[in-house]
Chain A
Amino acid sequence: MELDKNCVIKTQHLQKEYRLGVIGTGTLRNDIQSWIAKKRGKEDPNRRIGAEEYKKGDTFLAVDDIDLEIMRGERVGIIGANGAGKSTLLKLLSRITSPSDGEIAYRGRIASMLEVGTGFHPELTGRENVYLNGAILGMTRADVDRKIDDIIAFSECEKFIDTPVKRYSSGMFVKLAFSVAAHLDAEIMIMDEVLAVGDMKFQKKCINKMRELAVDENRTVLYVSHNMGTIQDLCSRCIVLDHGKKVYDGEVDEAIKLYMGGDNDEFFMATYEDQYKNPVRRHDLNLTQVKYNGRTTNLFYDNEPLKLELTWENLEDIPSLSLRVEVQDPRRIPVTSYIIEDFYSGKKGETHTQRFSFDISKIAQGRYFTRYVFYNKKDATAAYEDIEDAAGLIFRRQVSDTLKRKWHRSWGSVRLGNIQLEND
């Protein structure tokens, strides 16, 4: 396999196969017993009754025929649902396990951070652990000597650097561990969700550091995460994996859209009826139906308001009912909420259908989730502990081209309009 001049990682037909079921019975005695029984055509004495029998050929491909070519200085995000093969791919690249088929070639050294603080020993001091962890990650003592001051400064743990790490708070531990990793010399850095820890400020600092390494020093970064925010922040390219296969490779925004639920029109043009299957049921109220008022799709254009029709059944007397509808982006981060207070009262046993209208003209183009929160305004403290919410309908905003101008996803989900010039 040839590697182009600017290519740092290349894989061809990369595959990793795992056998399903239990590998052996775990003890030599039982394995021999099973083997003898099989030879004599008897039933395996160690097979659990009722357990599914996996045949010899029962395997599954955690990584299925993946071809990759990653260039120097690229910051590549890898996303996908659990079990899509992200971690296995990283493990193959970082040589923790070897492929069942295909090949990998890479240029330079790979430093993998599949976990922060691997090999930290609780009894050793921060400084000793920096040396140890650095060595585990492939640095020589001289390398660490050269960088120790930077590492300690970056970790913000100067004061405690000569204290055993078992006395550290988990935050400090993580900061120190990440600092070591961030100061590696390797040409290729592989990170698996390691930034999910640490406070926001430090996370930001880490992301910036990684970006700096890639941009200023032409290092290559591979980053796996479920946090789309950090993927957007850090990566210049994104790969989507699904069931071991590469389903997308390219623009970060596109990749996230795809991963966030098949953002194709086919899905959105479909009727929404199936989306809402778990009505809210609380002690005093049972939300039985949610639907769009007079529509069969969940696509809303331009200035069209979102109209909802909710039906509920009173399980008790309801003196006062308030409703908050939360709008969330695909990352499930609330964009805004709509509130109506004290709009209904009813007696036990009644069923009520109410229509609502929402002005969504300021919400940018995209896909949103809704969430319904019923509460009692008068009895605010008691009511809030009683709040039940439901994963509501999903709707999609479509803004026609004339209005769209150039709104980029990363600018936010709410369009508040133009800036007004102010002249003295």
Chain B
Amino acid sequence: MQNESITYITAKSKWYRINFKELWRYRDLVLLFVKRNITTSYKQTILGPLWIIINPLISTVVFTVIFGVIANTSPAGVPQFLFYMSGNLLWSFFSSCLGKGSGTFLGNARLFGKVYFPRLCTPVADMAYSFLNYAIQMIVFVILTIVYACITPFVQPNWVLALVPLMVLQTAVLGMGVGLIISSITTKYRDLNILVSFGVSLWMYITPVVYPVARIPDWLYPLFMLNPVAPIMESYRYAFLGTGSFEWFYWLISLGVTVLVALFGLVVFSKVEKNFIDTV
């Protein structure tokens, strides 16, 4: 069967052209990348994929001890372990999307330099892989939440749960969007690569991951909620635990920012992808 479609390549192409149709044609590649990541991540480890669960459990224990027992940042009544776990899981999902996205060009330079396929395949696959890990962790979290909801009146899952899938998607898209922007800039300036690792951990502290928004003084509150991850985190936690609040206003702003960041990221990415191999 001969494919007769004609492709044109010119020096100047429109800046907004992002070829989603082509990406769709390469969907099998995305799936295979995800599969490759799954099969290779835990090769030659004893516990294997169990690490997906052990990892957040251990860090949640540490959070509980340091922030819960020592600093006592969690709101009264709410089971501390659950409180920190909810923040921890969503944040590590976000930072994993961001981190993987920001490594797209540098990490795949060799591959990209030798063969053409829609470059977006790799960040999309990375995002899917991060989501898979997150989903597995969520199973544990949901079970714990149900258990706690039965035994304590402080855990009250509510209607905002209906918005959670959208929030999770938003988290992924926001992380990836920021990641793609960073990735595009790092093809020329490696500074950002270094910035990412500690920048992300700093970002965590201005996001209500280990403390509730209620701790923020009123005068700082509007500014604080402009951090697009903050409203997601707060709403997400509210949905499962019933602690904190859900505010449409800030969440919609965050959603808007996410869309803008994602669009900007895609545009910059598609601009850089054409020639990055010459400068990387």
Q: Which residues of chain B are within 8 angstroms of A15 by Cβ–Cβ distance?
A: 11
Q: Which residues of B contact A94 (CB under 8 A)?
A: 115-116
What separation, in Å, do the CA atoms of A100 and B275 have in the docked complex?
10
Chain B residues near A114: list those with CB within 8 A. 114-115
Is B260 positioned at the interface, with any CB of A under 8 Å from its CB? no
- Assess whether A136 is interfacial by the CB under 8 Å rule: yes
Report A33 CB to chain B, min CB distance, Å.
13
**Set of chain B residues within 8 Å of A124, measured between Cβ atoms:** 36, 39-40
- Please determine whether B32 and A135 come into contact, CB atoms closer than 8 angstroms: yes
Q: Is the Cβ of B116 less than 8 Å from the Cβ of A23?
A: no
Residue from the list B26, B32, B115, B277 in contact with A97, Cβ < 8 A:
B277
A105 and B277 in contact, given A26-B189, A121-B40 (Cβ under 8 angstroms): no
Contact (A187, B279) CB under 8 Å given A114-B114, A135-B32: no
B residues less than 8 Å from A108 (CB atoms): 2-5
Q: Establish whether residues B40 and A123, one from each chain, have CB atoms under 8 Å apart when the complex forms.
A: yes
Which label, helix, strand, loop or mixed, suits the secondary structure of the B interface?
mixed
**B28, B114, B188: which contacts A96 (Cβ < 8 A)?**
B114
Size bracket of the A interface: 35 or more
The minimal Cβ–Cβ distance linking A118 to chain B, given in whole angstroms, is: 4
Q: Is the CB of B36 within 8 A of A132?
A: yes
Contact for B6 among A18, A23, A107, A121, CB less than 8 A: A107
Chain B residues whose CB sits within 8 angstroms of the CB of A100 once the complex forms: 11
Of A137-145, A247-255, A341-349, the one contacting chain B is A137-145
Q: B189 is contacted by which of A27, A137, A185 (Cβ under 8 Å)? A: A27
B184-219 interface (Cβ within 8 A of A)? 188-192
Given the known inter-chain contacts A108-B5, A136-B29, please indicate yes or no for A97 contacting B188, CB distance below 8 A: no
Q: List 11 A-B contacts (CB under 8 A).
A: A26-B190, A27-B190, A28-B192, A94-B115, A96-B112, A98-B11, A99-B9, A105-B9, A118-B111, A131-B32, A139-B28
On B, residues with C-beta under 8 Å from A are 1-11, 13, 25-26, 28-29, 31-33, 35-36, 39-40, 43, 110-117, 188-192, 274-275, 277-279
A residues within 8 Å of B by Cβ?
1, 3, 15, 18, 23-24, 26-29, 31, 91-92, 94-110, 112, 114-115, 118-119, 121, 123-124, 128, 131-132, 135-141, 185, 187, 218
